[in-house]
């Protein structure tokens, strides 16, 4: 059979991690130091259904790798924030794949829940990207509003199972997931590994702003109340040093006791009412710098009153780094 000339254009439908942009971003994460701050946020009206914020970022790595053919060291990226849409299903699902470690649960149902809640929730994409890859997600789900959903029931059971080892905390968790659930929001925030940190303050600002606008704008009293959160519960991943005592012996030790995968978790942890860690079942092979650490899950609760403090501290943390 003779080889036919290719009549059609190659369709680029690779998952986002394999796109040239994704690769460039991964390389940036290891070499670059961003030199420009993001632009100031445009004011968007509370009732806009598609308000988005543009953040052009220009990053120049100090040493670009010599092996790159196409990559000359500068990646222009215009990130835009959008409300969740049903089309985002696959991208959001990919981001949440490891949310509950390897436990089998109704992940698709959870993603559907997030995508249906268009009033509170933000996804971060690149402008004019045909792939429509999702780079980050932030949302808050009221635990009582969705208490009938299978995914939320499974999630609650899993949280309680992990907490069962920690006597003091387990009761507080049970209260938050049970009687107090109408005041509790599950904060879900996931992103690709090397997303520029300058996006974090606007991302969280937009999330908490949407929550407060929803308390005024939602059509029914019940929905308005469902966003008057008093507590936020969240699940994150951290790396804990295997030998915490070792740290005290060395004065110039550069190794921290806990390494936070997401920088804002450190602030949340500091402001939390309570928190606990549990070992994760999957232990991925660690890069050299992380060989003394093991990955753990961290569940914590933060009071909603502490959020303004969080937003301030996040701003200063990102600005100084």
Partner 1 sequence: MATRLKFENSCEVGVFSKLTNAYCLVAIGGSENFYSAFEAELSDVIPVIRTSIGGTRIVGRLCIGNKNGLLLPHTTTDQELQHLKNSLPDQVRVQRIEEKLSALGNCIACNDHVALTHTDLDKETEEVVADVLGVEVFRQTVAGNILVGSYCAFSNKGGLVHPHTSVEDLDELSTLLQVPLVAGTVNRGSEVIAAGMTVNDWTAFCGADTTATELSVIENVFKLREAKPSAIVDEMRKSLFDS
By the criterion CB under 8 A, which residues form the site for partner 1? 1, 3-4, 6-11, 13, 89-90, 97, 102-105, 107-108
Minimum distance from CB of 284 to partner 1 (Å)? 14
Run of H or E including 114: helix 107-116
Q: Closer CB to partner 1, residue 15 or residue 263?
A: 15
Q: Answer left, alpha or beta for residue 250, where phi above 0 means left and psi between -120 and 50 means alpha.
A: beta
Q: Closer CB to partner 1, residue 52 or residue 105?
A: 105
Give SS3 for 16: helix
Please calculate the CA angle 204-295-259 and round it to the nearest 5 degrees: 55
Q: Tokens in use for 178?
A: 């049970």
Run of H or E including 174: helix 167-177
- Burial of residue 166 (CB within 10 Å: 0-12, 13-18, 19+) is middle
Q: Closer CB to partner 1, residue 68 or residue 130?
A: 130
Minimum distance from CB of 8 to partner 1 (Å)? 4
Q: Closer CB to partner 1, residue 107 or residue 296?
A: 107
Minimum distance from CB of 127 to partner 1 (Å)? 23
- Burial of residue 188 (CB within 10 Å: 0-12, 13-18, 19+) is buried
Q: Closer CB to partner 1, residue 11 or residue 45?
A: 11
Helix axes 150-163, 107-116, angle to 10 degrees: 120
Minimum distance from CB of 141 to partner 1 (Å)? 19
Minimum distance from CB of 125 to partner 1 (Å)? 17
Minimum distance from CB of 109 to partner 1 (Å)? 10
Q: Closer CB to partner 1, residue 113 or residue 300?
A: 113
* Spatial distance between the Cα atoms of 224 and 133, rounded to a whole number of angstroms: 31
């Amino acid at each position: 059979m003779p080889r036919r000339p290719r009549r059609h254009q190659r369709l680029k439908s690779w998952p986002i991690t394999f796109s040239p942009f994704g690769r460039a971003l991964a390389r940036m994460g290891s070499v670059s130091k961003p030199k420009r701050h993001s632009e100031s946020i445009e004011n968007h009206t509370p009732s806009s259904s598609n308000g988005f914020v543009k953040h052009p970022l220009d990053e120049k790595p100090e040493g670009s790798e010599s092996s790159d053919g196409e990559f000359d060291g500068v990646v222009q990226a215009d990130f835009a924030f959008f409300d969740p849409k049903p089309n985002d299903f696959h991208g959001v699902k990919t981001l949440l794949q490891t949310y509950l470690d390897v436990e089998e649960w109704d992940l698709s149902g959870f993603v559907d829940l997030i995508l249906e809640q268009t009033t509170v929730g933000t996804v971060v994409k690149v402008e004019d990207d045909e792939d429509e890859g999702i780079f980050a997600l932030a949302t808050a789900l009221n635990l009582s509003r969705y208490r009938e959903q299978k995914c939320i029931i499974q999630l609650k059971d899993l949280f309680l199972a992990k907490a069962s080892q920690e006597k003091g905390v387990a009761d507080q968790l049970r209260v938050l997931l049970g009687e107090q659930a109408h005041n509790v929001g599950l904060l879900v925030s996931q992103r690709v590994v090397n997303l520029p940190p300058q996006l974090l303050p606007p991302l969280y600002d937009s999330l908490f702003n949407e929550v407060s606008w929803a308390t005024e704008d939602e059509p029914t009293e019940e929905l308005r109340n469902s966003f008057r959160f008093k507590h936020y519960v969240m699940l994150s991943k951290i790396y804990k040093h295997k030998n915490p005592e070792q740290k005290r012996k060395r004065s110039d030790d550069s190794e921290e006791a806990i390494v936070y995968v997401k920088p804002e978790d450190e602030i949340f942890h500091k402001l939390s009412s309570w928190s606990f860690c549990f070992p994760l079942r999957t232990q991925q092979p660690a890069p050299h710098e992380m060989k003394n650490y093991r990955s753990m899950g961290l569940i914590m609760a933060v009071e909603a009153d502490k959020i303004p403090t969080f937003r301030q501290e996040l701003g200063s943390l990102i600005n100084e780094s």
